[in-house]
Every structure is written in C-alpha cells, then in structure tokens.
Amino acid sequence: MAYSNAFLIIDAQYDFCHPEGALFVPGAVQDMQRLSRLITGQADRIDHIVVTLDTHPVNDISHPSYWQDAQGNVPPPFTPITAEDIRNRRWTPRFEPEKALAYVESLERQGEFGHFIWPEHCLWGSRGAALDDTLLTALRTWTRRGRDYRAVIKGTHPQTEHFGIFKAQIPIPGAPETQLNQPLIDQLAAYDRVYLAGEAKSHCVATSLRQALDFAPQLAAKMIVIEDAASDVTGLGHLGDPIYARARRQDVQFVRSSDLDL
C-alpha cells in the first residue's frame, strides 16, 4: 500500500449535526464541512472509513419516557438521575426497575459519566439517525474510487448508554452488542494511522478515544484526533477534557484539518 490511512467518524448524524436535530451540537455544521472537504480533497489517500451510527429505541434508559415521578411526569431532557433519586422515588423506572437501579449504581462506581436524560434522539429508522448530508456527499464521492465505507451501529440496547463505539458504558450480560467490539478494534488497528472525528467531542468521541486507550493501546497509538472536526455538547466540554489530556500525555496526536496532508 502506498498509504495506510483509516478514518473513524463518530455519530455524524442529523440529530447531532443539523440545527433542527433533536440534540444539535453547536459547531457540528462547520465540523462536517471541514471533514468533508478533507475526505473529498484527499480521497485517493484514504484506505478505509468507518462511520458510527448512534441508534436508540424510544424507551431507552437515557430518554424521558423510561422514567416518571410520583405524579407520572417524565423528566425533562438534561436531567441528571442518581441512584439516590431512584431509591427515594424521585424518579422511578417504568421498565426493569431493579436493573435500572443496578445500572445507575454501576455508572456511579465507574466514576465517568453519571446517568443523564437526553432528548429522544437517533431513533431507529428516523431521519435523526441518518448520516449528515454534507458528509454523506463526501463519502459517496470517496466510494466511487472502488471502496465502500463501513457503518457500525451502537446504542440499540435500551438498558445501557453506549457513548464509545467499542463497548457500552456498562455492558449487559448476554447482550453481545454491548460487549467489547474486538473485531472492529482489530480491523482499525491494521492501518498505520486512524483519524478520529465526529460528534460529540465531549461524549462519544472522547469515550471512543478513552476506550481505545484502555482496551486497545495498539490502536490508540495510531490514533490522530482531528481537533476542528468535533465539537462539545454545550456546557459539557469539561467531561471530555480529562480524556483528551490523558491522550496527550500518552502521545496521541492532535491536528487541524487544514494542516493534514495524508
């Protein structure tokens, strides 16, 4: 191979990237424009592209309809829910209550992201779950050179959040879709360089990077974060900051799209 470059593009979907999306990330429109220009301009130097698709049922544990208070009201989006809230019946799971409590307790022991209610987003089969149009145009141009991008779906299990692409926050016994995706790790690790971009920088991009650092150091060593092709959920950038600081300490490269010459 003259080149050995792969792209891992996280959750570049309508609901995150379009201003009318359910969970629009400010800055995502420009991120996708920059990323698409890079893919189109250097298409002959890109060997493999993986796009991830966050995909949820309506009654997902991170969606309002999974929960209710004593009056039957659902929590508004961006509500944190703690294990103490559940034990005190401030918020009650409508489905699998014992499992839901155990899940939130596990998140708290993990110490990364607490449980948080999001707007209903990336519902399976919905427009919100589709790839961003600008990016899709660039991907279609790239595929006409004889390759095809790979789409990897995550988030379909209703009882666990799935920020990072490589495994759910809390894997569910007996649910392989929530376990560590070793075949994907192996596939990406076959390339010399793996460029990381997508949405949101504070959550799914950061967690994907952290999972590589934790579970696939051979892959993490090849990762290059495209800094101007990812943006934070408003007000929550601090959640991803420690992950990026750790990555820098471990010599993960960070670049801007305009500086990239593959």
pLDDT tens across 111-146, in order?
A: 889 999 999 999 999 999 999 999 999 999 999 999
| Residue 90 shares a structural domain with residue 172 | no
| Structural tokens at position 176 | 């392989």
**Same domain membership, residue 157 and residue 30:** yes
Higher pLDDT, 79 or 262: 79
Mean pLDDT of 51-64: 98
Number of domain units in the chain: 2
Contact 155, 126 (CB under 8 A): no
Instruction: Indicate the average pLDDT of the chain.
Output: 96
Alpha helices, DSSP H only, in 190-222? 206-215, 217-220
Q: Is 56 helix (H, G, I), strand (E, B) or coil?
A: strand
Q: Which domain holds residue 10?
A: 5-59+131-259
**Residue 34 in domain:** yes
What CATH number should be reported for the domain holding residue 16? 3.40.50.850
**Strands in the chain per DSSP E:** 5-10, 48-54, 67-68, 92-93, 150-154, 193-198, 223-226, 253-255
**168 pLDDT above the threshold of 70:** yes
Please tell me the pTM assigned to this model: 0.96
| CA–CA gap between residue 191 and residue 129 (Å, rounded) | 28
Same domain, 48 and 171: yes
Same domain, yes or no: 191 and 232: yes
- The rounded percent of the chain whose pLDDT value lies above 90 is 97
Beta strands 48-54 and 5-10, pairing class? parallel
203 pLDDT exceeds 90?
yes
Grade residue 57 by pLDDT with cuts at 50, 70 and 90: very high
